[in-house]
């Protein structure tokens, strides 16, 4: 049975594949149809037909001041600006996905240009060929510093990258042995990054040319061979398919769905084609999968920025940190744990505080626009529904809807001076359970 294509389905897709399901974007998606909407998201084309060009780092201001390239906080601020302003939200969201997948932290790397360079690499391959990305990430300077590639020499192999490339990047735990890690580390010896010359080099004298036994294959392997052998493993497409499904579709995707997406992915390891199959599938739009994933702090903050057209501010990055997510600073090589961890008490409190700060700064000009100042006869229920859509929330549960309607009715529905009550309602909308979900 084929799913219909209405505001409901379009909002669900945009909530997952973009950062904000706004009324304009949802209406445009319904007009375009599911296939064309998915195509535009994957190709990085505006849904509305009108594009906005992102400013380069040097031209962006936050709080009225220029950003400083040598400050990690300002680099975080600029990436937040990109997420909120891009016409290619899926590309930016996949850049964030790969940042958590190939997690590398400034805390250890300590070189901002290298972190930014890796970010650009992840964006370049965001929807590209995963095989090529794995080839490239192993020789990325930030990754090399983070996982101690410089210490991986003939006779004294360092196993950090060899372990993580299997455990976290391609196969998952249980699909390799400790012996495979040791043999892969030997095959990867000889590569280093020179910070003084900014060069990635291969030193033949430091490469182990002996025979290695790796994942059932035997030979004089190097780094290229290691990647080729990884991509021959049945576990790889299933590992990536499950990660994509968990990120975009369901916390616990069914084995059959993982098999289905893995089959598409294994054809040529193309992320764009894999996500196309995912976003066009009926299962993606099932009622069980709607509003079932918790927004990351990035999604929560960027969605609110877009909802109220807020200019980027350094305080937004600080708020994200309190919510549990610092760009360029994942907690460890496994990245952010996600899921319910986003709503730990301190993280959830930070969301509430952010919503309160946003509500206070909303000016009267915004609240006097037709999307906010409704017909004099508009009911509390109508205001709740409208304010929800304005904030990218297309439906509330029964309890939330009742509580929000009662607040609206008690504060501003029957009042001439509505602004403060309207701000209060928007704050409650932003901290509602539905606002934390996608």
Q: Which two tokens stand for residue 262?
A: 């893995």
Q: Is 294 helix (H, G, I), strand (E, B) or coil?
A: strand
- Is there a domain that residue 236 lies in? no
Look at residue 361 and tell me whether its pLDDT is greater than 90.
Answer: yes
- 108-132: average pLDDT: 98
Domain match, 30 and 161 both: no
The predicted structure's pLDDT at residue 3: 73
- Please tell me the chain's helix, strand, coil percentages from 3-state DSSP, rounded to the nearest 5: 60, 5, 35
DSSP state of 193: E
Mean pLDDT of the chain: 97
Q: How far is Cα 52 from Cα 315, in angstroms, rounded to an integer?
A: 24
Number of folded domains in the chain? Answer: 3
Look at residue 194 and tell me whether its pLDDT is greater than 70.
Answer: yes
Nearest by Cα to 24 from 59, 48, 56, 52: 48
Query: What does residue 379 show for φ and ψ, rounded to 5 degrees?
Result: -85, 170
Q: What is the rounded (10 degree) CA torsion for 94, 329, 341, 350?
A: -110
Neighbours of 36 (CB within 10 A): 14
- Is there a domain that residue 176 lies in? yes
Q: Which two tokens stand for residue 195?
A: 């910070």
Cβ within 8 Å of residue 180, ≥6 positions away: 166, 214, 215
- 93-112: average pLDDT: 98
- 398-404: average pLDDT: 98
Structural domain including 427 reads: 364-438
Domain match, 5 and 94 both: no
Counting every residue, how long is the chain?
438
- Is there a domain that residue 147 lies in? yes
Neighbours of 28 (CB within 10 A): 19
Domain match, 101 and 45 both: no
- Is there a domain that residue 35 lies in? yes
Domain end marker among 212, 230, 248: 230
Domain match, 124 and 18 both: no
- Is there a domain that residue 326 lies in? no
Domain match, 94 and 207 both: yes
Residue 93: which pLDDT band, with cuts at 50, 70 and 90? Answer: very high
The predicted structure's pLDDT at residue 59: 98
The HSE-up count of residue 286 (CA atoms within 13 Å, CB side) is 13
- Is there a domain that residue 33 lies in? yes
Domain match, 151 and 223 both: yes
Residue 49: which pLDDT band, with cuts at 50, 70 and 90? Answer: confident
Domain match, 46 and 95 both: no
Domain match, 128 and 190 both: yes
Domain match, 92 and 182 both: yes
Domain match, 41 and 96 both: no
- Is there a domain that residue 171 lies in? yes
Cβ atoms 374, 382 nearer than 8 A: yes
Look at residue 2 and tell me whether its pLDDT is greater than 70.
Answer: no
User: H-type helices in 308-379, by residue range?
Assistant: 314-323, 345-361, 364-367
Domain end marker among 173, 199, 230: 230
Distances (CA, A) of 352 to 276, 339, 420: 35, 18, 18
Please, which residues bridge with residue 294 across strands?
437
Cβ atoms 39, 17 nearer than 8 A: no
The predicted structure's pLDDT at residue 171: 98
Domain end marker among 189, 211, 230: 230
Cβ atoms 313, 62 nearer than 8 A: yes
Q: How far is Cα 130 from Cα 231, in angstroms, rounded to an integer?
A: 10
- 48-73: average pLDDT: 95
Domain match, 104 and 46 both: no
Domain match, 133 and 204 both: yes
- Is there a domain that residue 221 lies in? yes
Distances (CA, A) of 411 to 142, 292, 404: 53, 31, 11
The predicted structure's pLDDT at residue 50: 81
Helix (H) or strand (E) holding 32: helix 23-32
């Amino acid at each position: 049975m084929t799913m219909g294509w209405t505001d409901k389905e379009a909002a669900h897709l945009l909530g997952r594949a973009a950062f904000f399901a706004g009324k304009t974007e949802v209406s445009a998606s319904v007009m375009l149809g599911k296939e064309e909407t998915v195509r535009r998201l994957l190709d990085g084309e505006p849904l509305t037909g009108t594009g906005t060009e992102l400013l380069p780092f040097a031209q962006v201001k936050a709080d009225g001041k220029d950003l400083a390239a040598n400050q990690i906080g300002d680099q975080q601020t600029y990436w937040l600006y990109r997420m909120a302003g891009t016409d290619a939200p899926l590309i930016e969201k996949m850049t964030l996905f790969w940042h958590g997948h190939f997690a590398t932290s400034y805390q250890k790397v300590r070189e901002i240009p290298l972190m930014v360079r890796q970010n650009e690499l992840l964006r370049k391959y965001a929807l590209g060929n995963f095989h090529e990305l794995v080839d490239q990430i192993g020789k990325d300077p930030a990754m090399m510093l983070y996982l101690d590639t410089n210490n991986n020499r003939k006779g004294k192999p360092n196993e950090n990258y060899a372990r993580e490339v299997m455990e976290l990047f391609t196969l998952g735990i249980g699909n390799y042995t400790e012996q495979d890690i040791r043999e892969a580390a030997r095959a990867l010896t000889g590569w280093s990054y020179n910070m003084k010359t900014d060069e990635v080099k291969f030193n033949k004298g430091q490469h182990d040319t002996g025979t290695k036994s790796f994942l059932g294959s035997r030979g004089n392997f190097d780094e290229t061979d290691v990647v080729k052998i990884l991509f021959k493993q049945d576990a790889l497409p299933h590992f990536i398919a499950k990660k994509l499904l968990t990120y975009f579709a369901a916390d616990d995707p069914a084995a059959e769905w993982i098999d289905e997406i893995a089959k598409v992915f294994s054809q040529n390891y193309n992320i764009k084609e894999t996500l196309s199959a995912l976003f066009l599938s009926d299962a993606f739009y099932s009622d069980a999968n709607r509003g079932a994933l918790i927004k990351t702090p990035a999604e929560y903050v960027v969605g609110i920025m877009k909802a109220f057209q807020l200019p980027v501010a350094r305080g937004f990055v600080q708020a994200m940190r309190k919510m549990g997510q610092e760009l360029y600073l994942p907690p460890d090589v496994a990245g952010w744990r996600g899921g319910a961890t986003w709503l730990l008490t301190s993280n959830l409190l930070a969301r509430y505080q952010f919503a309160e700060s946003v509500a206070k700064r909303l000016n009267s000009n915004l609240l006097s626009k037709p999307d906010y100042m409704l017909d004099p006869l508009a009911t509390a229920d109508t205001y709740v529904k409208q304010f929800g859509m304005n904030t990218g929330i297309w439906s509330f549960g029964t309890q939330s809807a009742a509580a929000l309607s009662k607040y609206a009715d008690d504060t501003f529905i029957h009042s001439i001076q509505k602004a403060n009550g309207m701000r209060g309602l928007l704050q409650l909308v932003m901290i509602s359970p539905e606002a934390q979900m996608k």
